Structure 1
Amino acid sequence: MVLRDPGSTSPLRIWLDSRNTGRPGGTGVATYTTGMRQCFTQMGCDVTYLWDRAPDATAPPPNTPARKVLRFMHALLPFPTRVRRRQRPDTGERCWFVPDLFRLANVHFRIWNRPLRLCGGQPPAIMYSTYPLPFLVDDAINVVTIHDLIPLTHPELTGIDRTFMEKLLRRQVALADVVVTVSETVRQQIVDMFHVPADRIFNLYQPVSITDAERRAMEATPAIAPAGCFLFIGRVEARKNIERLVAAHALSGTARPLVIMGPDGDDQPDFTPRTPRQQIIRIPWCSRESLLRTLRDAHALLFPSLAEGFGLPIIEAMALGVPVLTSRGGATGEIAGDAALLVDPLDTGDITQGIAALDRMTADTAQWQQMVARGHSQAERFSPAAQIERMTPFLAHLSRLSATGR
């Protein structure tokens, strides 16, 4: 099915924000953005990014004092900001951009308590924001993605300003045409907290895939961690339950090292070994190929997070045939289904027992084989094909909204 722009024979035009694309180390939102673009493209849409810089600029301008003054003066203006269009010098591809867009929109919202309005530039049928960003595009259907409400439900676990985020989310939920989220857990939280009508909020989950090219690159990548380790992947911060994980790993008595892979987070949890025998290996964020190689070679993924909106490593591990231990309840329990070993993330003893149980399993045991088989089946629920199936009625709904002017 190829959807068309209203009143046109051209494919449905969609802009995605570029805020999380190309960031060093990558983020879960960046993976989400890339996956959604691929799905929209496969569905026949004309998809491009809305950038915060001109196509001949490799990065946003430095955030100098002079730049901050200019940004503040621009943000004071009460009328819409024009979107510019230019062709990329290398490919000739058209590029839509607003210089300094994301910082400018943030300052504008803090001043006016409303999103920055963007106009001109031949607006698309749909502006699909992959994150709650404080701007809206005039004459387009504006979709905002809310991945989680952690700054509101667990403010002690994040460095994000709760007051600002709640104000931003309330305004975006009220003004956006459609709200999208990535799990039923978060969808229900949004409904309960913001009283969003059912026909304005959609749970699309998230496409998760490991391509053939990635698998080939993974095979050719040197190992950076010992095979058979226990592995944690994610930001190293209190929200990820690092200290209980390290304590449980020590108490389990396993001889397998615990590899903690990911960038530093908002705080600094203590991941030093709890016993002389315990081995902790800390690996900063690495290339995608190295991450996948380490995950594939791991004995199991340990992911007893305290709060998530989705839990991307869970499905990536299952897709690679790696058993998973994760938190019972919430989004992690929803995403893992019956394919993971679920534990109480607040109970170090329960996490310990889970690690010990996984430690005793081997590839020839029935329980191991069952976990791997169920994991593969669960991962298929989030494949690009399954995602496109979920997105087809959603995109048809957006097309109808666009055709009727909402």
Structure 2
Amino acid sequence: MIIRLLKSDFLSLVNNQLAVFPGVGYNKAMRIGWDVSAIPYGTGVSRYTTNLVRALVRLYPQEDYVLFGGSFRQLPLLKSFASSLPSMPQIKYYPLPPKLSTLLFNKWHLSIEWFMGNLDIFHSWDWYTPKVTSGKLVTTIHDLSAIKFPNDTNPKIVRQHRMALEWIKKETAAVIAVSETTKKDIVSILSIEEKRIHVVYEALSEESKVKIVKSEVDNVKKKYSISKPYILAVLSFEPRKNIRRLISAWRKLQNDFDLVLVGKSGYETVESKEGIIVTGYVEGKTLAALYAGAICLAYPSLYEGFGLPILEAFYYEVPVVTSNVSSMPEVAGKAAVLIDPYEIDSIRQGIVRAIEKKDELVKLGKERLKLFSWEKAAEETMAIYEKVVSEK
């Protein structure tokens, strides 16, 4: 089936090749390829891809966009995303399960042009890195957690990430880092020259902007048996999220507050008991209602590439306590209480201060949120495309 799909694209490849000859079907619009395979999975990368592609297509409709969707089970979601865009780009769907994509792009390093035809730009993420022969490769690196914390990460994920990063280091014309912190990690860990790395900040996803009324907050509290004012933590259950220290800090406050942990399961296991409520992964109105009802967001992570829950809390007017390390101060600025994530008492004191300074922090958070937008991210990303295309 895959061979048949590749053959069906052969004429497209030949036709696109004509664009390299002056005067023969030349189109001044850039032909921009995007790997949108991550969109169905509900991760930060999913939200980044969804919102940045949407903003690019809306702001720069004159460009020729071609979306690559490699997925075995999630093709309907990819098709739904493509049809939701302001102007319908071309999209190439291939039933590629993750293991096959790893073989094709990270191990065998096949050319993406086999699937999409010639391109001026192909924008990949830091999970699959195909070869780009006709144009320039631009890659977004979201974080290097698998490389920095290999003992806390599934070994298969570490191997996969290392393979992709090796190709990124060798072949990418431009690397987009989602924070200055990530840029510094890329330089120090991957030894990629600074001149190839561009910082483009993420923003609050459109999907996160859900309007909530009081009755919906009351319903979600009832659903999860939340009986006290609660501290919210939105995270994945892995050691770098610092859950154990957060729980220890909360223990000294548990007479007054519940602790609600929201996120996907991972290397660590926490059970609901004695004021700790574990909801699992939630999204949409449920997540929005949990934010809206929280007394504060506790985000004492040891390492992040960006830190989207900080912006989400700003939107829902919830005071934030977060770490004074990694990317968190960069995102939060002066709109959050910063703590030492390695000190339990610092976390506890930070939670208390955030609750006490709610009005001040909420006001600062609303102003801080205005600094991050997908329109700005799209403008900066397009400038990178234009720069690398103009370079020999």
The interval holding the TM-score normalised by the smaller chain is 0.7 to 0.9
* Aligned counterparts of 1:228 and 1:356: Cα–Cα separation in 2: 13
* 1:66 corresponding residue in structure 2: none
CA 1:194–1:54: 2 relative to 1, 3 Å: closer
| Contact 2:72–2:96 (Cα < 8 Å) also in 1 | no
2:380 equivalent to 1:384:
no
> Residue 180 of structure 1: CA displacement?
1.0
* 1:330 corresponding residue in structure 2: 326
Identify unmatched segments of 5+ residues in structure 1.
61-86, 362-366
Question: Equivalent residues in 2 for 1:275-354 (5 A)?
Answer: 278-354=274-350
> Residue 355 of structure 1: CA displacement?
2.0
- Structure 1 ranges of 4+ moved more than 6 A: 217-220
* 2:144 corresponding residue in structure 1: 149
> Residue 177 of structure 1: CA displacement?
1.6
2:240 equivalent to 1:239:
yes
CA 1:119–1:388: 2 relative to 1, 3 Å: closer
> Residue 93 of structure 1: CA displacement?
6.8
CA 1:236–1:101: 2 relative to 1, 3 Å: closer
Amino acid of the structure 2 residue aligned with 1:116: L
> Residue 351 of structure 1: CA displacement?
0.9
* 1:52 corresponding residue in structure 2: 70
| Contact 1:54–1:97 (Cα < 8 Å) also in 2 | no
* 1:179 corresponding residue in structure 2: 175
* 1:255 corresponding residue in structure 2: 256
* Aligned counterparts of 1:238 and 1:137: Cα–Cα separation in 2: 36
* Aligned counterparts of 1:179 and 1:203: Cα–Cα separation in 2: 9
Which of 59, 79, 96 is matched with 1:43 structurally?
A: 59
Amino acid of the structure 2 residue aligned with 1:237: E
1:72-110 CA distance string (max 9 Å, x none): xxxxxxxxxxxxxxx99xx99743134317432312466
* 1:130 corresponding residue in structure 2: 125
Which of 173, 188, 193 is matched with 1:192 structurally?
A: 188
Amino acid of the structure 1 residue aligned with 2:198: F
CA 1:387–1:194: 2 relative to 1, 3 Å: same
> Residue 174 of structure 1: CA displacement?
1.3
* 1:13 corresponding residue in structure 2: 31
* Aligned counterparts of 1:205 and 1:95: Cα–Cα separation in 2: 26
* 1:170 corresponding residue in structure 2: 166
> Residue 216 of structure 1: CA displacement?
3.7
CA 1:133–1:338: 2 relative to 1, 3 Å: same
> Residue 54 of structure 1: CA displacement?
8.8
2:368 equivalent to 1:374:
no
* Aligned counterparts of 1:262 and 1:397: Cα–Cα separation in 2: 34
> Residue 133 of structure 1: CA displacement?
1.1
> Residue 232 of structure 1: CA displacement?
0.7
1:308-344 CA distance string (max 9 Å, x none): 1111101111122111111112111221111111111
Q: Which moved more, 1:140-149 or 1:99-108?
A: 99-108
> Residue 197 of structure 1: CA displacement?
2.3
| Contact 2:212–2:292 (Cα < 8 Å) also in 1 | no
Structure whose residues are more often helix by fraction: 2
| Contact 1:218–1:290 (Cα < 8 Å) also in 2 | no
CA 1:289–1:48: 2 relative to 1, 3 Å: farther
* Aligned counterparts of 2:342 and 2:71: Cα–Cα separation in 1: 44
**TM-score, normalised via structure 1 length:** 0.77
1:128-161 CA distance string (max 9 Å, x none): 1133313133312211111111122222332245
Amino acid of the structure 2 residue aligned with 1:330: S
1:181-230 CA distance string (max 9 Å, x none): 1000010111122222233111101122447x943477785642358421
> Residue 43 of structure 1: CA displacement?
2.3
| Contact 1:18–1:51 (Cα < 8 Å) also in 2 | yes
| Contact 1:233–1:313 (Cα < 8 Å) also in 2 | yes
Q: Percent sequence identity over matched residues?
A: 26
2:235 equivalent to 1:230:
no
2:29 equivalent to 1:29:
no
Identify unmatched segments of 5+ residues in structure 2.
1-18
> Residue 167 of structure 1: CA displacement?
4.1
> Residue 370 of structure 1: CA displacement?
1.8
| Contact 1:230–1:301 (Cα < 8 Å) also in 2 | yes
Amino acid of the structure 2 residue aligned with 1:398: Y
> Residue 388 of structure 1: CA displacement?
3.9
* Aligned counterparts of 1:306 and 1:252: Cα–Cα separation in 2: 22
* 1:117 corresponding residue in structure 2: 111
**TM-score, normalised via structure 2 length:** 0.80
> Residue 9 of structure 1: CA displacement?
5.1
CA 1:383–1:118: 2 relative to 1, 3 Å: closer
Amino acid of the structure 2 residue aligned with 1:158: T
| Contact 2:319–2:362 (Cα < 8 Å) also in 1 | yes
Amino acid of the structure 1 residue aligned with 2:55: C
* Aligned counterparts of 2:213 and 2:195: Cα–Cα separation in 1: 42
Q: CA RMSD in A?
A: 3.2
* Aligned counterparts of 1:341 and 1:129: Cα–Cα separation in 2: 35
* Aligned counterparts of 2:304 and 2:365: Cα–Cα separation in 1: 19
2:156 equivalent to 1:140:
no
* Aligned counterparts of 2:51 and 2:204: Cα–Cα separation in 1: 7
| Partner SS, residue 382 of structure 2 | helix
